[in-house]
Amino acid sequence: MLKYTIKRIIYILPTLILVAVMVFLLIHMIPGDPAMVILGSDASAEEVELIREALGLNEPIYEQFVVWARQVLAGNFGVSIQTKIPVIESIMKRFPVTLTLTTLALIFSIIISIPSGILAAVKHNTRSDYLFMIGTIIGVSVPGFWLGLIGLLIFSYELGWLPSTGYVAIWEDFWLGLRYMLLPSITLGFFMAAVVARMVRSSMLEVLRLEYVTHARAKGLGEWKVIIKHALKNAFAPTLTTIGTQYGMLLGGAVVTETVFSLPGLGKYIVVAINMRDYPVVQGSILFIAVVYVLINLVVDLLYGFFDPRIEYQ
């Protein structure tokens, strides 16, 4: 497994290089000038030129990329144009908020998706299965921002059960922090729950038709013991792939959720930085998310062997 892990880490490097290049080029293609944002629309051309020169924006684009890439390799994501604070320092301050949000969303989606997917597979072609399919279609179709706004309207403004905005760290005050994060995490995890539930259902339907499941039933084992102990473990490998991929996507989906609920996370930080044309913040934050994403996929690949002993790492 060590050889396989090293090989996968080597494969990660080209992905991160491509992400870095694409992010750098795309953020520089967005209309707008950081110097103009700093000085305002009333600034003279000479003042704008001085700021651009100080920020290195007058250099050729490839030279700017080389300078930034060298900083990243040295563990330095640069300094924010707007706040003058090191980007990595701001990321480390805000990422725990995003990590808490996405982890709670993951827990919510797993609690909902796995039991419902199993039940839909067991009750295949029944009313329960049809209701399940309708529910998953709704889950993948409803926009996250709309769901968040409806949740705020019902549970915050009408019923007053949950706070509408704000944040308390869950490690400082667990129950109060959970109240603040409950609605955002459900909003973020709703789509993932629908996707994972569909995968659980399809995987379980395939496994339940295999001979070893029929043999287990013929031995007199209870139906739910056959389903949970024998069928679910082998059906969970493809589901694990979906969970890993969707968890990585939650990091991107957190941008919308954090904006709707005014959470001081990394997603909202990126949105503000894009509006302010703060190049180092956008580049560093998205590259950091990409690193987290590929590491999650690496962990998922390594967990395959636990759920499916037939897999050999080479």
Label residues 93-113 b or e (16+ Cβ within 10 Å = b).
Answer: ebbebbebbbbbbbebbbebb
Look at residue 311 in the predicted model and tell me its pLDDT.
59
Task: Give the CATH number of the domain where residue 253 resides.
Answer: 1.10.3720.10
What residue has token string 């990422």? 95
Q: What average pLDDT is seen over the chain?
A: 78
Confidence of residue 306 (pLDDT cuts 50, 70, 90): low
What's the domain range around 118? Answer: 94-267
Angle made by CA atoms 85, 91, 96, in degrees to the nearest 5: 135
Number of domains, the chain: 1
> Does a structural domain hold residue 64?
no
Confidence of residue 157 (pLDDT cuts 50, 70, 90): confident
> Does a structural domain hold residue 191?
yes
pLDDT tens-digit series, residues 120-149: 887 887 887 788 888 888 877 877 778 888
Report the distance separating Cα 66 and Cα 288, nearest Å. 18
User: Is pTM beyond 0.85 here?
Assistant: no
Look at residue 230 in the predicted model and tell me its pLDDT.
67
For the cut 80, the answer to whether the pLDDT of residue 114 exceeds it is: yes
> Does a structural domain hold residue 300?
no
Do the beta carbons of residue 102 and residue 247 sit within 8 Å? Answer: yes
Report the distance separating Cα 243 and Cα 248, nearest Å. 9
Report the distance separating Cα 178 and Cα 185, nearest Å. 10
> Does a structural domain hold residue 68?
no
Q: Residue 278: count other Cβ atoms within 10 Å of its Cβ.
A: 26
pLDDT tens-digit series, residues 54-77: 667 777 778 878 888 888 887 788
For the cut 60, the answer to whether the pLDDT of residue 310 exceeds it is: no
> Does a structural domain hold residue 127?
yes
- Coil vs helix vs strand at 61: helix
Report the distance separating Cα 268 and Cα 94, nearest Å. 9
Report the distance separating Cα 7 and Cα 27, nearest Å. 31
Report the distance separating Cα 7 and Cα 183, nearest Å. 40
CA terminus-to-terminus distance, the chain: 7
Interhelix angle 279-307/232-260, rounded to 10 degrees, is 160
Q: What's the residue count for the chain?
A: 314
φ, ψ for residue 160, nearest 5 deg: 70, 25
Q: Which residues pair with 86 in a beta bridge?
A: 79
> Does a structural domain hold residue 285?
no
Give the residue among 150, 144, 260 at the shortest CA–CA distance from 195: 144
Average pLDDT over residues 35-52: 68
> Does a structural domain hold residue 253?
yes
Report the distance separating Cα 197 and Cα 306, nearest Å. 21
Average pLDDT over residues 194-213: 79
Q: What is the DSSP string of 85-106?
A: -BHHHHHHHHHHHHHHHHHHHH
Give the residue among 193, 203, 192, 201 at the shortest CA–CA distance from 238: 203
> Does a structural domain hold residue 7?
no
pLDDT tens-digit series, residues 249-290: 777 777 788 888 888 888 888 888 887 778 888 888 888 888
Report the distance separating Cα 67 and Cα 272, nearest Å. 24
Torsion of CA 168, 112, 110, 170, to 10 degrees: 10
